[in-house]
Amino acid sequence: MERYRSDLEGSLRRVYGDQVDAIWPRLEALLKRSFGERPTELRRLDEARLLRPDWLQAPEMIGYVAYTDRFAGTLKGVSEHLSYLEELGIKYLHLMPLLKPRAGENDGGYAVQDYKAVREDLGSMADLRSLAGELRARGISLELDLVINHVAEEHDWAVKAKAGYGNYRDYFLMFPNREQPDLYERTLPEVFPDFAPGNFTWNAAARSWVWTTFNSYQWDLNWANPNIFLEFVDIILHLANQGVEIFRLDAIAFIWKRMWTDSQNQPEVHDLTRALRAAARIVAPAVAFKAEAIVAPGDLIAYLGQRDHHGKVSDMAYHNSLMVQLWSSLASRSTRLFEQALLAFPPKPTNTTWGMYVRCHDDIGWAISDHDAGMAGTVGWGHRAFLSDFYSGAAPGSFARGQVFQANPRTGDRRISGSAASLAGLEAAETGAEVESALRRLRLLHAVTIGYGGVPLLYMGDELALTNDYSYASAPEHALDNRWMHRPQMDWDKAEERRDPQTSAGKMYAALRSLIQARQHLPHLHASIESRVMRSPNEHTLLLRRTHPQGNMLAVYNFTNEFQALPAWVLREVVGAYPRDAISGHEWNLTNEEVALEPYGAYWLIEQAH
Ligand code: GLC
């Protein structure tokens, strides 16, 4: 409390002013109670984390992201597959939304009805606790989603608000007529223009327009009400005491609303995150936060802490921009825009890390700014349109098999759904050579994310190169949402093929394993150091440099299906004449004039001691 009180109180005062005096005694009581309830083993973990505050930044950190039911049926089922995760080298498991959602359509669990109960078909809170314990015993941290922007309209708070009970209407943003909503709508974007247009929904029982950024059944919370803050401190600490170590702050950018803005990335978001983190540190210092802010690079960095917030907000944030650029360069065969986007990235605080990913459960939105596109010699809207055509398979010569998600005629945006393997050409591949190319593309994308210096987050099934699952179309609650095509069932038969080097699954698995093993032994990949992009003389290749006290590292990637040449001196200047490639183990000779990079080649060159 001594250590974090000023942080907690200061941030709260900036948001809530004098209302803090009224909530402070309740907050203190809540922290004391939660601390009292914290189990001994978790307190031991707290101590361990205080001794090793950089645990999330370590090169051994590798995450795996899965739906409990799709991976293993139930929470108990997950326990039976821990050796599978260990074999891959996993140190962190993100189980997709598993708290009790509303019945029927629930946005993949992102419409929570009860934050203190587990979805019944997956198990109970006791099962979650025991799974967390088993994971912990194997050195694997459990991550859960914290849906913080909205609740299901069936959540107790919303039910009470509809009934006009107590102060519960103040938990939400409710308006008697269209006057305010219409004003807000002038500057608000639409997240799901296709199946949930607009940002407000009429609720007859409450006789109000309710703020609903996402689906009409996901009611946005009113974070201007300090009771919401108290409720979430209670939820976070309750779950932390069950053994949850990392919280994914879902849609965090949206929690604070302001007229005449897009109501994203408002300064209060960062004060609130800082206050939540301080509360978590006081009771459960083992806990870390990951920001899910899919926003422009200039806005993103604030989620890891800028200026006064430096190092005091989230510990990790998704590197959405890098994921987008991976797919963009794969389609265009050029890395000019990739370089431009990374050059425009402000440095992150040294005690934070990026969440690196090739694919996740969501669609891919072409977050490419017109400015960056212009600087890279292309046109923003044209390139974005090309990418949508390419990845939906419509463009001539495309190897991808994705589908358009949420076409927005007003903005021209067309996001893309599809599994990594299908987007990279495995589904469309007919010849052995095409299969090889698709697998090489996937290996390349994983190499960039695993070798970047953040936490690689492997999405379930990608280790076996699983292709699209079209069965969603016959499930009524999923049929309208084609993101389900890349949320497949785990294929355990295919998983058996992982040891067979003749199969696609076996080749993918082996490629990933070798990247993961190389990463685990490379101190150069500690996240306290930044990867910096170097302008490459060859526009088809990407060069990422890491300046490390133990020697420099230079990652070299070829985004084409042909051999590419680079002048050797460009590499030699960074890693000397005889670097070692940490992936293959080979020593390179850079005394010649040129080096040749294999089709879709990926190399992590490490400067060697003389
Ligand atoms: C996040 C989730 C997405 C969900 C949305 C609303 O963006 O990743 O799947 O639809 O939040 O909770």
Q: Which atom of ligand 1 is nearest to the CA of 147?
A: 12
Q: What is the pLDDT of residue 298?
A: 86
CB 467 within 8 A of CB 475: no
Given a cut of 80, whether residue 610 has pLDDT beyond it is no
DSSP state of 109: G
Q: Which residues pair with 416 in a beta bridge?
A: 364, 404
Q: What is the tens place of the pLDDT at every residue in 471-504? A: 999 999 899 999 999 999 999 999 999 999 999 9
% of the chain with per-residue pLDDT over 90? 96
Q: What would the two tokens of residue 581 be?
A: 């490639």
Residue 204 burial by Cβ neighbours in a 10 Å radius (0-12, 13-18, 19+):
exposed
Q: Whose CA is nearest to atom 4 of ligand 1?
A: 110
Calpha distance 459→64 (Å, rounded): 6
Q: What is the tens place of the pLDDT at every residue in 260-279? A: 999 999 999 999 999 999 99
Q: What is the mean pLDDT of residues 559-570?
A: 98
- Strands 353-356 and 455-459 come out as parallel
How far, in Å, is the centroid of ligand 1 from the Cα of 106?
11
| Domains of the chain, start order | 1-148+224-369+441-464+487-524 (3.20.20.80), 156-220 (3.90.400.10), 527-606 (2.60.40.1180)
Q: What is the mean pLDDT of residues 306-328?
A: 95
Confidence of residue 356 (pLDDT cuts 50, 70, 90): very high
Confidence of residue 194 (pLDDT cuts 50, 70, 90): confident
Q: What is the mean pLDDT of residues 154-183?
A: 97
Q: What would the two tokens of residue 125 be?
A: 């809170």
Q: What would the two tokens of residue 254 be?
A: 């949206």
Calpha distance 381→215 (Å, rounded): 27
- Is the C-beta atom of 109 inside 6 A of ligand 1? no
Q: What are phi and psi of 428, to 5 degrees?
A: -85, -10
The residue assigned the tokens 């308006």 is 175
Mean of per-residue pLDDT scores for the chain: 97
Q: What are phi and psi of 420, to 5 degrees?
A: -55, -45
- Is the C-beta atom of 255 inside 6 A of ligand 1? no
CB 220 within 8 A of CB 263: no
How far, in Å, is the centroid of ligand 1 from the Cα of 489?
20
Q: Whose CA is nearest to atom 9 of ligand 1?
A: 362
Q: Which atom of ligand 1 is nearest to the CA of 108?
A: 9
- Is the C-beta atom of 251 inside 6 A of ligand 1? yes
Calpha distance 429→208 (Å, rounded): 53
Confidence of residue 345 (pLDDT cuts 50, 70, 90): confident
How far, in Å, is the centroid of ligand 1 from the Cα of 250?
7
- Is the C-beta atom of 108 inside 6 A of ligand 1? yes
Q: What would the two tokens of residue 135 be?
A: 């994971």
H/E element, 110: none
CB 424 within 8 A of CB 298: no
- Is the C-beta atom of 418 inside 6 A of ligand 1? no
How far, in Å, is the centroid of ligand 1 from the Cα of 251?
6
| Residues annotated as catalytic (active site), given as ranges | 250, 292
291 SS3 class: strand
Q: What is the pLDDT of residue 296?
A: 86
- Is the C-beta atom of 509 inside 6 A of ligand 1? no
Tell me the helices (H) and strands (E) count for the chain, helix number first: 21, 24
Q: What is the pLDDT of residue 607?
A: 98
Q: What is the mean pLDDT of residues 250-259?
A: 98
CB 568 within 8 A of CB 519: no
- Is the C-beta atom of 157 inside 6 A of ligand 1? no
Q: Which atom of ligand 1 is nearest to the CA of 294?
A: 7
Residue 36 burial by Cβ neighbours in a 10 Å radius (0-12, 13-18, 19+):
exposed
Q: Whose CA is nearest to atom 8 of ligand 1?
A: 362
Residue to substitute in 102, 217, 362 for testing ligand 1 pocket (most ligand atoms within 8 angstroms of CB): 362
Q: What is the pLDDT of residue 453?
A: 97
- Is the C-beta atom of 110 inside 6 A of ligand 1? yes
Confidence of residue 107 (pLDDT cuts 50, 70, 90): very high
- Strands 99-101 and 112-118 come out as antiparallel
- Is the C-beta atom of 214 inside 6 A of ligand 1? yes
259 SS3 class: coil
Q: Which atom of ligand 1 is nearest to the CA of 360?
A: 8
CB 114 within 8 A of CB 100: yes
Calpha distance 325→318 (Å, rounded): 14
Q: What is the pLDDT of residue 593?
A: 96
How far, in Å, is the centroid of ligand 1 from the Cα of 599?
36
Q: Whose CA is nearest to atom 7 of ligand 1?
A: 251
- Is the C-beta atom of 362 inside 6 A of ligand 1? yes
